[in-house]
DNA sequence: GAAATATTGTTAATTTAATCACAGTTTAGG
DNA sequence: CCTAAACTGTGATTAAATTAACAATATTTC
């Protein structure tokens, strides 16, 4: 099990590496990758050490190989299915955005309680009533949920998610959620991010 | 200057505290606050120690007072003005969402290059052409930008942001941006978050 | 009003993450 | 073929963040 920060950085490296590949770059040095990611060459090498890949000495890392090795670590062979819960402004933006982005992570369903949204199709993904959550999650083997419901229903919905058999949640509501210990949860709070930026802008001024 | 993680947690505590206030709760213990936030009572007390607030012993923290003290630390007295750059799906969602949420952080302008979007008003906020960035930033005293432009224009736009005098950036594009050292930048990469969730779901399975 | 209980604030210890420092390769140039 | 230069991989070290441990203090109970 890799450190969380390392997992994040590997995902980020991979995106840069894919970009490199498109530009026809076949090899990359640790210090080049570092420069692209606000960190140091040592950190990059250490991260890559974690996944047990070694480069051709003096030529840098083979871009294509490194992409594959990162894929072996991060991706599940058969891919994982994802659902978006709450098809409001944010849920719609995310659904539209993700379609076709990652071959190993497919958004294959959305859920809502608003009857005007149910059965609507966004970017090829159908919206189901939340009452059918468990049924669809089981039938379609969905293991990850992206939560974009209003704050006041967040905690109730999260219980339903866990009951339905979801194993990972990416929570965008501003409510910290309690889930069973075998469910992995990542929370992102936009207001917190913005307040953090504001704090550092403020303190830099003085 | 507080540790970054502490700043984040303080912002999160504050939101819970505001919620408590609404529910008529006047005092809160460190372990209660901890429970709401996936962390420990010691961590809460240490964070609060950082900002130099002390409770009434044995009664817990005075909710209202603690909110004010956190405000003194996080907020700027006159508030800070914010602009959203790139009024696509995500930019629109964020703009709509933020309006009225935080009295000390006001989104007061959006920018785009798409002529069909310019001059449109979203939730009371007007969209300006990107070419007027510097002019408006100076006139309206905007210090923070939220970046939601497409990846391929991200790095160019970030240069313009810095030139215009922006001091803090919240970057939602998937491109790591280079900014001047006196500009604070926070980057959030949704794909990375989702891949991280997927990784931990995958490894938990084995 | 003494003892038991609950909670804080803080020092010390521990754990985790990042950085330093350098030996070990490979390649290039003479 | 020898030396210098350029990078990598990793043990050792340092720094940062978290957790444990506990004295100090207020409150309740009897
Ligand atoms: N919009 C943003 O940019 C933004 C930013 C940060 C955080 N958030 C958070 O994301 C969440 C959604 O924000 P939004 O702007 O998209 O809100 P929204 O009101 O546009 O969308 C919410 C959607 O959830 C649906 N919904 C309500 N109750 C539900 C339930 N029990 N189960 C399933 N669906 C349900 C609603 O019908 C609606 O379609 C909120 O919790 C908000 O705090 C949004
Ligand atoms: N939609 C999401 O949920 C989501 C999730 C993660 C990351 N992102 C990132 O956010 C960014 C925007 O995503 P989106 O889905 O809103 O895209 P979008 O295409 O809907 O919106 C992009 C907007 O930016 C405008 N634009 C283009 N070039 C510009 C420039 N030079 N200056 C100002 N505006 C410009 C476009 O006219 C458009 O309005 C992308 O970089 C994407 O990677 C989006």
The CA–C1' separation of A16 and C4, in angstroms, is 62
Number of domains in chain A: 2
Q: Are residues B171 and B146 part of one domain?
A: yes
Give the distance from residue A19's alpha carbon to the nearest chain B alpha carbon, in angstroms.
Answer: 10
Question: How far apart, in whole angstroms, are the C-alpha atoms of residue B8 and residue A191?
Answer: 10
For residues A196 and B8, is the Cβ–Cβ distance under 8 A? yes
B27, closest nucleotide (Cα–C1'):
C7
Flag whether B118 is in a domain.
yes
Q: Are residues B117 and B59 part of one domain?
A: no
**CB of B4 lies under 7 Å from some atom of strand D:** yes
For residues B99 and B138, is the Cβ–Cβ distance under 8 A? no
- Residue closest by Cα to atom 40 of ligand 1: A150
Q: What is the pLDDT of residue B168?
A: 96
The pLDDT tens digits for B25-60 are 999 999 999 999 999 999 999 999 999 999 877 789
Segment (H or E) for B165: none
Domain coverage including residue B121: 80-191
Question: How far apart, in whole angstroms, are the C-alpha atoms of residue B91 and residue B124?
Answer: 14
Q: What is the pLDDT of residue B58?
A: 78
Last residue of a domain, one of A73, A92, A121: A73
- Residue that is written with structure tokens 């785009």 in the block: B112
CATH number at residue B18: 1.10.10.10
Q: Are residues B105 and B56 part of one domain?
A: no
Q: Are residues A116 and A39 part of one domain?
A: no
Q: What is the pLDDT of residue B204?
A: 86
Closest CA relative to residue B123, chosen from B100, B90, B147: B100
CB contact under 8 A, B193 and A186: yes
Q: What is the mean pLDDT of chain B?
A: 95
pTM summary value = 0.96
Nearest to A198 among B80, B185, B199 (CB): B80
Q: Are residues B90 and B53 part of one domain?
A: no
Has residue A102 got a pLDDT over 90? no
Question: How far apart, in whole angstroms, are the C-alpha atoms of residue B124 and residue B96?
Answer: 9
Average pLDDT of the segment spanning A31-45:
95
Confidence of residue B103 (pLDDT cuts 50, 70, 90): confident
Task: Give Cα B195 to chain centroid, integer Å.
Answer: 22
Average pLDDT of the segment spanning A36-46:
95
The CA–C1' separation of A90 and D20, in angstroms, is 42
Average pLDDT of the segment spanning A135-157:
97
Q: Are residues B84 and B65 part of one domain?
A: no
The pLDDT tens digits for B132-178 are 999 999 999 999 999 999 999 999 999 999 999 999 999 999 999 99
CATH number at residue A166: 3.40.50.720
For residues B11 and A192, is the Cβ–Cβ distance under 8 A? yes
Q: Are residues A86 and A183 part of one domain?
A: yes
Flag whether B177 is in a domain.
yes
Flag whether B205 is in a domain.
no
Closest CA relative to residue A189, chosen from B168, B167, B76, B102: B102
Q: What is the pLDDT of residue A14?
A: 97
Flag whether A203 is in a domain.
no
Candidates B194, B203, B204, B205: best to mutate against A (most CBs of A within 10 A) is B194
């Amino acid at each position: 099990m890799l450190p969380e920060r390392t997992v994040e950085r590997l995902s980020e490296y991979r995106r840069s590496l894919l970009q490199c590949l498109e530009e026809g770059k076949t090899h990359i040095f640790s210090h080049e990758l570092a420069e692209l990611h606000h960190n140091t060459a040592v950190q990059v090498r250490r991260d890559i050490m974690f996944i047990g890949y070694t480069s051709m000495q003096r030529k840098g890392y083979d871009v294509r190989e490194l992409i594959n090795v990162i894929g072996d670590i991060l991706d599940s062979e058969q891919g994982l299915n994802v659902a978006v819960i709450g098809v409001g402004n944010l849920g719609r933006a995310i659904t539209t955005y993700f379609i076709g982005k990652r071959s190993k992570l497919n958004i294959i369903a959305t859920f809502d309680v608003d009857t005007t949204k149910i059965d609507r199709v966004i970017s090829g993904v159908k919206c189901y009533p939340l009452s059918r959550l468990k049924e669809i999650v089981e039938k379609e083997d969905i293991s990850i949920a992206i939560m974009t419901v209003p704050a006041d229903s967040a905690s109730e919905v999260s219980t339903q998610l866990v009951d339905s058999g979801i194993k990972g949640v990416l929570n965008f509501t501003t409510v910290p959620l309690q889930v069973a210990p075998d469910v992995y949860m990542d929370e992102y709070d936009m207001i917190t991010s913005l307040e953090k930026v504001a704090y550092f802008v403020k303190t830099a001024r003085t």
